[in-house]
Amino acid sequence: MPSTEPRGPRQIWRALQWSMKGLRAAWRHEASFRLEGYLFVIMFPLGLWLGHGAIEKALLCGSLILVLSAELLNSAVEAIVDKASPEFHELAGRAKDMGSAAVLLLMFNVVLCWGLVLSAHLQG
């Protein structure tokens, strides 16, 4: 059945408000997100400055955005797991660990992207 929810600018505005609410909640309640946010504020402009051309800038800055995105998803998984299963359960722990591992892999991606781009500049 089609949704009766209005589409267009009003729905986009509401979606933006919900997204900002999520960002505020992550900032308020998640120390890891705050730390990654501080690093983002420093490294994003640095990536724009250091990157030569659009592709390098996209790699340097985009890799940072991916970490923040994964952290938000990881925090969402942790919140829903804690709500659904406040006592320890092996599957709950596994879900949380996998979310954390996703963030870690994207942090490795940041190091790889930045390392390769910066080493290319040092050699050239």
Number of structural domains (the chain) is 1
Q: What angle, rounded to 10 degrees, do the helices at 9-29 and 53-84 form?
A: 70
4 in any annotated domain: no
61 in any annotated domain: yes
93 in any annotated domain: yes
Cα–Cα nearest to 30, from 67, 75, 69: 75
Indicate which CATH number applies to the domain containing 77: 1.10.287.3610
7 in any annotated domain: no
Is 71 catalytic? The answer is yes
11 in any annotated domain: no
* Catalytic choice (36, 56, 71, 78): 71
This prediction's pTM: 0.88
Per-position pLDDT tens, the chain of length 124: 566 666 899 999 999 999 999 999 999 999 999 999 999 999 999 999 999 999 999 999 999 999 999 999 999 999 999 999 888 899 999 999 999 999 999 999 999 999 999 999 999 7
Q: Give residue 49's domain range.
A: 31-123
19 in any annotated domain: no
